[in-house]
Structure 1
Amino acid sequence: MQEDFLHYVWQQQYFDKASLRTQDGEQLTVLRPGFRHQDAGPDFPNARIRIGEVEWNGAVEIHLRASDWHRHQHHLDRRYDQVILHVVHTADEPVRRTDGTLIPTLELGPRLGPELLHTYQALLAAPPATLPCAGLLPQVPVITRLSMVERALLERAERKAATVLTLHEQLLGDWEATTWHALAAGFGFQKNTEPLTRLAKALSLSVLRRHRHQLLQAEALLLGQAGFLTDIDASDDHTAALVREYSFLRHKYELAETALQAHEWNFLRLRPANFPTARLVQLAALLHARPTLFAALLAAADVPTLEAFFRVPLADYWHAHNRPGRPGKTTELGRDSVHLLISNVVVPLRVAYARHVGQPELAEEAVNLLAQLPAEHNRLLAPYEALGFQNKSAADSQGLLTLQREYCQPRRCLHCAIGNRILRQNPLVS
């Protein structure tokens, strides 16, 4: 059993409450269990408990064994002097505050229904490759599944928006610069997100803005600062021009110290269309073709408008090359790549802005863009589809992927509405 289970049981009051008494035999009534606290200090502040004839207001602390109080050094921590009740599975010893006063203890072990424990243990014991609730899903109404997937989707949007807002603060409130950094990271498409994130820091938008009108210079700045124009054979006119432009701009803006190296980029098991050089060329073309980034992405009303925003032509040279001086082919951003950028960059950016200006309707509009995108289908989503979960759009896919990563895989069933519903089937708590 995990301590998290006792937190859940106490929060939901899913235990036999008949004739509640402390370990000292005093009558006990739970008037308010308190509110779950995730930071340092007692687990459930703002609780209200009647013990005997006295009503207490304070905190409740939860442990599997009462002796964990001393093992966690709470008897030396004044923050725990506010604890009015120690709730444990097994009461193996009395506990005291820093001043030596005894803390009443409630032992829950004998009060937990066997059905509740069995269901909980079954969820935890499910094989890692399966959904823990797969065999119990028939008990769960479809509306509960849908609402949990939607909740997971919103949690994902909020988490990504929080990252954008942190970036926005670091960039001193500049939304255009924030968009540049977010787009650069998005163009990494996981395999090269980290070096592209560093490249955005090594090449400010203010420098790029001065030279975005010349596509060759935009390419030179990005490819050169990424390390792809150093120690190469300029075997054709375009490559020679890139090397020449970067050499001049590197000295002009003193960029040498922050430049990346070519070996820092990942080409392994990537198709040429996904090479980091291809992404940098596409990013240069986007910066060249779009005078503003943030305003355009914020104003786009639908997915077709956003698709048009990302659909920009490349210089003719790249139709026959995928790296400077190397034959191959670089294509414009594909539809799937654009959709990933909408999901992972545009939506979080717009949700972050909505939070910043206090307009929740803008956040709702941003998340609704995902409903216009096609669903993903992969090995992580297949088990959910097989169990009848809806997966008709990217909104469904992103919600399910978040459910899998944040709840199912780490077995956080106690925090999931689906797991909660299953546990509530216990006769003691229904």
Structure 2
Amino acid sequence: MKEDFLHYVWQHQYFDKQQLVTEDGQALTILRPGFRHTDAGPDFPNARLQLGDVEWNGAVEIHLKASDWYRHQHQQDQKYDQVILHVVHTADQPVYRTDGTLVPVLALGARLPAGLLSAYERLCEQPSSESLPCAGLLGQVSELTKTLMLDRALLERVEQKADVLAALYESLGQDWEATTWHALAAAFGFQKNSEPLSRLAKALPLSIVRRHRHDLRQLSALVFGQAGFLAEQADSSHDLYIRDLQQEFAFLRHKYNLAGTGLSAHDWNFLRLRPANFPTVRLAQLVGLLHARPMLFDALLSATDVPALEQFFTAPMPEYWRTHFRPGKPGKVAELGRSSVQLLIINVVVPLRVAYARHTGSAELVEASVALLEQLPAEHNHITDLYNALGFQHRTAADSQALLALQRGYCTPRRCLHCSIGSRLVQPNPLSR
């Protein structure tokens, strides 16, 4: 048994509440169990209880054994002086606050419904695999329960991504345009080169980009120069275009005191990438976008549907990079593909708009932004295919993102009792599933 199980039991009050008595003999009435708290401090603050003839307001702390109070050093932490009830499975010893006063203890071991405990143990005993732990029990859960859980998981995933961008916004002096630049730059790395592209955005401030985004030659020199691709190389020593960019970057580097702030060519990943995914190609696509779209954030915010966003990302690369996938190395290069654009919408546009919507208090914009995911086709990978095979709906990118959130946030860490599906399977009344 894990402590999470007792949290679940207390939160939903799934135990025999007849004639409750604490270990020190006080009659107990639960007026309000409190609200689940996951940060530092007691587990359920804002509880209201009646102990004997006295009504108490405070916190409830949950442990498997009463002695865990001392194992967690709560007797030395004044945050736990607000605990008015210690709920445990087994009361193996009395516990005291920092001032030496006794904490009332309620032992639930003998009050748990047999069916509840056996259902929980059956869920925990499911074999560990890539599948969700309750895969063999899904037939007991209604489609409505699964749908509601996926809706919740989707919103949690979008909110988590929005949290990252909100923190980035604060770190950039509350500048949404700069936030967009940094977020897009990192996303153009498409995992393999996300980290060096994120570093490039820091090494090339938007204030400098803004001054030269109208001049494709200067913009290319800044981006490829700071990325480290304009250093002298044998392959490009006779390439007139690259030599021209080298001269322009030498001037701009001195003008903006950029020496020593950029990346080197060896910072980028080319291994096991197709030429279309080479970082040099992605940089060229990013240059084309910066040149064609003078106001990134406003355009992404004002777009009302996916076709408008796809049009936003349809920006031609510089001519040279349509026929070169590395400096001095010819080859036919495609423009930014539709699947790549869809990933940018999922991973940048939607969370960016949600972060802004939360900042401005616009619930309508949150809803409209999340709805964009329903206009995109479903993503396919081994995780989504696995859940699809188990009968989960998988028609749009909203479904894909929800399934990924379910797998990473609940199934893999086995947070079954925090999931509506697992919670339904453990519930004492099977008719409510």
TM-score range, shorter chain: over 0.9
Name the residue aligned to 2:75.
75
Query: d(CA) in 2 for partners of 1:121 and 1:22?
Result: 27
Cα deviation for residue 55 of structure 1 reads 2.1
Cα deviation for residue 187 of structure 1 reads 0.6
Deviations 1:333-376 (A, max 9, x none): 00000000001111111111111111110111111111110001
Name the residue aligned to 1:231.
232
Query: d(CA) in 1 for partners of 2:168 and 2:422?
Result: 35
Letter in 1 for 2:25: G
- Does structure 1 residue 44 correspond to structure 2 residue 47? no
- Does structure 1 residue 325 correspond to structure 2 residue 328? yes
Query: d(CA) in 2 for partners of 1:129 and 1:411?
Result: 11
Letter in 1 for 2:79: R
Name the residue aligned to 1:98.
98
Name the residue aligned to 1:211.
212
The verdict on how the C-alpha distance between 1:429 and 1:27 changes in structure 2, with shifts beyond 3 A counting, is farther
TM-score after normalising by structure 2:
0.96
Letter in 1 for 2:130: A
Superposition pairs for residues 70-219 of structure 1, below 5 Å? 70-126=70-126, 127-219=128-220
Name the residue aligned to 1:358.
361
Deviations 1:349-406 (A, max 9, x none): 1111111111110111111111110001211011211121111100111111111111
- Does structure 1 residue 308 correspond to structure 2 residue 297? no
Q: Which moved more, 1:167-176 or 1:396-405?
A: 167-176
1:391 aligns with one of 394, 397, 408: 394
- Does structure 1 residue 65 correspond to structure 2 residue 58? no
Query: d(CA) in 2 for partners of 1:196 and 1:34?
Result: 46
Query: d(CA) in 1 for partners of 2:266 and 2:120?
Result: 49
Query: d(CA) in 1 for partners of 2:321 and 2:203?
Result: 24
State the secondary structure of the residue aligned to 2:260: helix
Letter in 2 for 1:362: L
Query: d(CA) in 2 for partners of 1:191 and 1:389?
Result: 30
The verdict on how the C-alpha distance between 1:232 and 1:417 changes in structure 2, with shifts beyond 3 A counting, is same
- Does structure 1 residue 406 correspond to structure 2 residue 409? yes
Deviations 1:91-133 (A, max 9, x none): 1111111222211111112222232222222323322322111
State the secondary structure of the residue aligned to 2:382: coil
State the secondary structure of the residue aligned to 1:62: strand
Letter in 1 for 2:57: N
Query: d(CA) in 1 for partners of 2:254 and 2:51?
Result: 76
- 8 Å CA contact 1:115–1:426 kept in 2: the answer is no
Letter in 2 for 1:275: F
Structure 1: which 5+ runs fail to align?
A: none
Superposition pairs for residues 250-289 of structure 1, below 5 Å? 250-289=253-292
Letter in 2 for 1:153: L
- 8 Å CA contact 1:14–1:428 kept in 2: the answer is no
Cα deviation for residue 211 of structure 1 reads 1.4
- 8 Å CA contact 1:320–1:328 kept in 2: the answer is yes
Query: d(CA) in 2 for partners of 1:242 and 1:367?
Result: 41
Query: d(CA) in 1 for partners of 2:125 and 2:269?
Result: 38
Query: d(CA) in 1 for partners of 2:432 and 2:381?
Result: 37
State the secondary structure of the residue aligned to 1:301: coil
Letter in 1 for 2:375: Q
The structure 1 segments of at least 4 consecutive aligned residues displaced by more than 6 Å after TM superposition are 427-430
Query: d(CA) in 2 for partners of 1:329 and 1:208?
Result: 27
Q: Which moved more, 1:161-170 or 1:112-121?
A: 112-121
- 8 Å CA contact 1:123–1:132 kept in 2: the answer is yes
Structure 2: which 5+ runs fail to align?
A: none
Name the residue aligned to 1:368.
371
Deviations 1:60-99 (A, max 9, x none): 1111111111111111222212211111111111111122
- 8 Å CA contact 2:113–2:428 kept in 1: the answer is no
- 8 Å CA contact 1:43–1:59 kept in 2: the answer is yes
TM-score after normalising by structure 1:
0.96
Query: d(CA) in 1 for partners of 2:63 and 2:240?
Result: 71
1:293 aligns with one of 286, 292, 296: 296
2:337 aligns with one of 313, 334, 337: 334
Deviations 1:8-33 (A, max 9, x none): 11111111222222123332221111
State the secondary structure of the residue aligned to 1:46: strand
- 8 Å CA contact 2:131–2:387 kept in 1: the answer is no
Cα deviation for residue 141 of structure 1 reads 1.4
Letter in 2 for 1:350: R
State the secondary structure of the residue aligned to 1:56: strand
State the secondary structure of the residue aligned to 2:208: helix
Q: Which moved more, 1:140-149 or 1:51-60?
A: 51-60
- 8 Å CA contact 2:35–2:47 kept in 1: the answer is yes
State the secondary structure of the residue aligned to 2:106: strand
State the secondary structure of the residue aligned to 2:170: helix
Cα deviation for residue 313 of structure 1 reads 1.4
State the secondary structure of the residue aligned to 1:50: strand
- 8 Å CA contact 1:272–1:329 kept in 2: the answer is no
